Amino acid sequence: MQVHFPDEEILSKEMQTYMMNIFLDTMDAGIDKIRNNPQFKEPVKTDNLQLVKGTCNFLQAMLKPEMGFKGDDK
């Protein structure tokens, strides 16, 4: 799977792969938790693709140096 980060120089290829694997390993569990936990109530109903897209938008916004992201592997 192709990983696209806002700036390809921010993270090493190993860290990009690591982050993508974490994303893929946890997205389904996160969706299940939102869908099956009565504490999480959506004021506007969404489908699963919207939750994934929202998560991607958040990550894309936060993985920018201007947002304070350092980009080292630590």
The pTM of the full predicted model, rounded to 2 decimals, is 0.73
For residue 47, is pLDDT > 80?
Answer: yes
Three-class secondary structure assignment of 5-65: CCCCCCCCHHHHHHHHHHHHHHHHHHHHHHHHCCCCCCCCCCCHHHHHHHHHHHHHHHCCH
The tens digit of pLDDT for each residue in 24-36 reads 999 999 999 999 9
- CB under 8 Å to 52, separation ≥6 — which residues? 27, 31
For residue 6, is pLDDT > 70?
Answer: no
Question: For residue 18, which phi and psi values (nearest 5 degrees)?
Answer: -60, -50
Judge whether 71 and 11 are in contact, CB under 8 Å: yes
